[in-house]
Chains A and B, each alone.
Chain A
């Protein structure tokens, strides 16, 4: 398997623009996680899905952030409008169970100017 695939790998945008990050989990994994990593706060869970259904979105910072999982092989994390404080590395991970080993994608490095 190719592992968890994320795109784009790098994104530079201007404040106020819409940003969409994409993730393809490992085939057969029924859990998908979105994380954000910053120098100040480290790794933080934003939201996770089980069988395409959002289970816990308490980590989503505010209404500007939204995530969807229309099918088992694709998820998006959208920021609209983006702000400079959203600059971070966003990771997607997948697993076969909620408490099982998580496999991380390479991350998307986002810079909002």
Chain B
């Protein structure tokens, strides 16, 4: 069964800083998910990626399948980016990809 590790657990940044959150997993996968959980509790899917890089606004997600590692970057961070960022990977290689294992999350706080 896959194990998903995130670092750091907590991250405090000043507005405008470049942010990197890391995620590693133990079992080969077809796609990795990045989610954002707002302070109010709502969860939004940010990215699903299986190779290379994806960009949406100031958010960039990269994945290295060989190294079983993914990163989420935030450029020009803003206080509204303050949230918990969670990565998730399928529980096992092959089989149904719907059974996701979640990392513990990275709590980001961006100060003005």
Contact A45 B105 (CB under 8 A): no
**Distance in angstroms between the alpha carbons of A43 and B104 in the assembled complex:** 8
Contact B45 A103 (CB under 8 A): yes
Contacts of A48 in B (CB 8 A): 98-99
Nearest CB in chain B to that of A48: its residue: B98
> In the complex, which of the residues A42, A56, A104 contacts B98, with contact meaning CB atoms closer than 8 Å?
A56
Contact B33 A43 (CB under 8 A): no
Contacts of B104 in A (CB 8 A): 42
Interface residues on A, range: 20 to 34
Question: Is B31 in the interface zone, CB < 8 Å from A?
Answer: yes
Contact B42 A104 (CB under 8 A): yes
* Overall SS of chain A's interface: strand
> Nearest Cβ in chain A — how far from B110, in angstroms?
22
> In the complex, which of the residues B44, B45, B91, B96 contacts A55, with contact meaning CB atoms closer than 8 Å?
B96
User: Which 3 A-B residue pairs are closest in the complex by CB-CB distance?
Assistant: A99-B97, A98-B98, A104-B43
Q: What are 24 residue pairs bridging A and B, where the CB atoms are less than 8 Å apart in the complex?
A: A31-B98, A42-B104, A42-B105, A43-B102, A48-B98, A50-B98, A55-B96, A56-B96, A56-B98, A58-B99, A91-B43, A95-B98, A98-B97, A99-B48, A99-B97, A101-B33, A101-B45, A102-B100, A103-B45, A104-B43, A106-B41, A106-B42, A107-B41, A107-B43
